[in-house]
Amino acid sequence: MNKKRHSLKDIARELNVSVTTVSFVLNGKGKEKKISDEVIKKIQDYTRKINYRPNLVAQSLRTGKTKILVFMVEDISNYFFSKIARIIEDIAYKEDYKVLFCSNENNDDRSRELINLFYERQVDGFIIIPSPGIKDSIQMLINNNIPVVLFDRYFDDLDTNYVVIDNENSTHHGTQHLLSRGYRNIGFITIDVDQIQMKGRLDGYLNAITENKLKSYVLKIPYSETGSKNGKKQIQQFLQKNPDLDAVFFSTNYLTQIGLEVLREDHPRKLQEMGIITFDDNDLFKIYSPSISAVAQPLKKIGKELMKIMMEMLQTDKGIKSTRHVVLDTKLIPRDSSLPKEEKLMHS
């Protein structure tokens, strides 16, 4: 049952021509290489008859290209990452590239192992959300002239291509929005991690609070606990310990999900009365009751910019001389959860 693949050699032997001739014809270079129409037709007819398929693995070995890109994120099943994955897949498809996805769980060991594995497999390029401590692995790729673009975050002291958003400005803007709607005691629930994007989000919030001479309320949850009951418990305790909070800003979409669950179960009244903003939008936030105001990342733009840089690198053999740094704006989408405080209290 195991059909043997036909090699160029087999075809050449069968038709009594050279391997080079077969190769030229199959690559559409028959005329250019002055091979006779008769021989071209003979080779084309035969390969059609045997349903010949080129061995692309062998081709990869010759060209050094695999036409495969790696897309490494924290968790492919997260809304934000899976949406970007789809956008990248669609662009890659049009450019004749395929995408391997993997989830690094924001874990350094797993990230390093995956990068090494794919490096050995000679994929053509990497689009990576780096975990906190893998600067060395990224440096290794760059040293080996492998196209790599980081996104969502980068390393301050490593000169790489990256596509990020202006996190600090985004949360500053979001916090100002809550302040302008009459909220004064605004909590910020975020991830306890020493990464540039989360620092930016926290700074934006803290600056807005300080500028307005208000008190800050910050809860930091370890990333590893966001999927567990412990993460939920920490939000419960934070809300209990700070009964004067009149608004809360969640710094990621999965934190918002946990927060909404806690509010819904323990504080249904607060769910209606508090000001709520989420970082990262989700289709379901807009149909939630109340609909949840969001700082939305420009998903399409992020995907397009990532692939633009990647394709540029792939198409220039010598690599790009200077690295590209793209910083995109987010969009504040006000919904019912951040209606003016007075209006909310009147209705609830």
User: Where does this chain bind its own copies (CB under 8 A)?
Assistant: 1-3, 53-58, 60-61, 66, 68, 75-79, 82-83, 85-86, 89-90, 93, 98-103, 117-122, 143-145, 257, 260-261, 264, 282-284, 286-289, 319
Token look-up 């690559």 returns 27
Tell me whether residue 127 or residue 209 sits nearer to its own copies (CB atom).
127
Tokens of 12: 């050449």
- Number of neighbouring beta carbons within 10 Å of residue 139: 15
Tell me whether residue 190 or residue 291 sits nearer to its own copies (CB atom).
291
Smallest separation, CB 287 to its own copies (Å): 5
Minimal CA–CA distance to 169: which of 207, 142, 211, 117? Answer: 207
Amino acid, res. 255: L
Smallest separation, CB 218 to its own copies (Å): 24
Tell me whether residue 9 or residue 264 sits nearer to its own copies (CB atom).
264
Give the β-pairing of 98-103 and 68-73. parallel
Smallest separation, CB 232 to its own copies (Å): 11
Is the C-alpha dihedral spanning 89, 93, 95, 100 positive or negative? Answer: positive
Minimal CA–CA distance to 74: which of 96, 107, 42? Answer: 107
Tell me whether residue 69 or residue 221 sits nearer to its own copies (CB atom).
69
Smallest separation, CB 319 to its own copies (Å): 7
Tell me whether residue 88 or residue 186 sits nearer to its own copies (CB atom).
88
Smallest separation, CB 171 to its own copies (Å): 23
Tell me whether residue 100 or residue 196 sits nearer to its own copies (CB atom).
100
How far, in Å, are 28, 66, 251, 266 from residue 295 at the CA level?
A: 51, 38, 9, 25
How far the first Cα of the chain sits from its last, in Å, is 71
Tokens of 116: 């090494």
Smallest separation, CB 197 to its own copies (Å): 21
DSSP-assigned beta bridge partners for residue 248: 187, 276
